Structure formats: C-alpha cells, structure tokens
Amino acid sequence: MLEHFCQWLYDSAIGTGIRESIWVFPIIETVHVLTITLLVGTVAIFDLRLLGVVLKNEPVSRVASQILPLTWAGFAVMFVSGFLLFWSEAAKSYANPAFRIKLLLLALVGLNPLIFHFTIFQSVSEWNGRVVTPLRARLAAASSLTLWACIICAGRAIAYFQK
C-alpha cells in the first residue's frame, strides 16, 4: 500500500512538475540544504554548550531560549522542502536504502530532544550555569551531533542509490 502511495505521489501533477522543472527542483533543494544548515547549526551550538565546548559562561536555558526559535524555523522549512523533494522522487525513494536509513535516523533524532526535554532538562535550574553539565545532558548532545552527521551523510547518499 505504501509503495502504491509513493507511486501515486511520483505520478501526480505536482510530483512531475517539481521533477521536470528546470528551476523548481533545484530551488527546493537549495532551500532544503540551507535550512538544514540553519537547523543543524543551531542544534550544534546548543549541543556544544551542553558539552561545555562553547558559550561556557552562558546559562543553558538562555542559550536554549535564544536558539530554539531559529531551530524550529529551520525545521519547519526543512520539513516542507524535504517533503516536496520526496514528493517528486517518491517512487525512487521508496526502495532507496539510503533514504530508508535517513528516515530511521530522523525518527531517532526526533526522539532525542523529546527525551532530553522531558527528563534531564526538567532540572535545568539545578545545573543551568555549570560548564560541565550532567552526564545525561552530554550524552544527549553527543547523540544529537552524531545522528545529525549521519542524517546528512545518508541524505547525500540518496543520490548514489537511485535506480
């Protein structure tokens, strides 16, 4: 059923229009790459603060409050542009192992901040100004950076596994 839905997306007027346009696909892809840069860049700043590498004198909550609006904006545009790219290549992407790995990694990277914000971040007032954050916060940050690096690699590999 999922395969038929992907084929329907691929064959649709919108999917065909994006795929066959000389300008639309490259513009969407450029927007996608730029918003990945915004999203991963802001996530990296926060994660590196949790690891005690940058902004050591800034409270974690202040960094989060300043960074998260940009992170969410990047996520929103990245999600829409990524879906449009998928729409235009849905039938090819369905069987692409790099695409499947990317989706799995995206699910994991989405769970990471959920778990972080509903567990260790609840007690941020206790460790907010410390250079060395709790081990669980550092593990979440290291996981996040690793997962995002793998997502970018998997996303780039999609082109090499196209049939």
pLDDT at residue 161 greater than cutoff 80: yes
Determine the pLDDT at residue 86.
93
Domain extent, residue 149, equals 2-161
For the whole model, what pTM was predicted?
0.89
Helix, strand or coil, per DSSP, at residue 31: helix
State the total domains in the chain. Answer: 1
In Å, how far are 19, 27, 40, 126 from 22, measured between CA atoms? 8, 9, 28, 54
Kindly compute the dihedral angle of the four CA atoms of residues 21, 25, 26, 29, in this order, to the nearest 10 degrees: 180
Rounded Cα gap, residues 163 and 145, in angstroms = 30
Determine the pLDDT at residue 109.
96
Determine the pLDDT at residue 163.
62
Rounded Cα gap, residues 144 and 149, in angstroms = 9
The predicted-structure confidence for 24-57, as pLDDT tens digits, reads as follows 999 999 999 999 999 999 999 999 999 999 999 9
83-112: average pLDDT: 93
CA angle, 110 then 107 then 36, to 5°: 65
Mean pLDDT of the chain: 93
| Percentage of the residues of the chain whose pLDDT score is greater than 90 | 87
The predicted-structure confidence for 18-27, as pLDDT tens digits, reads as follows 999 999 999 9
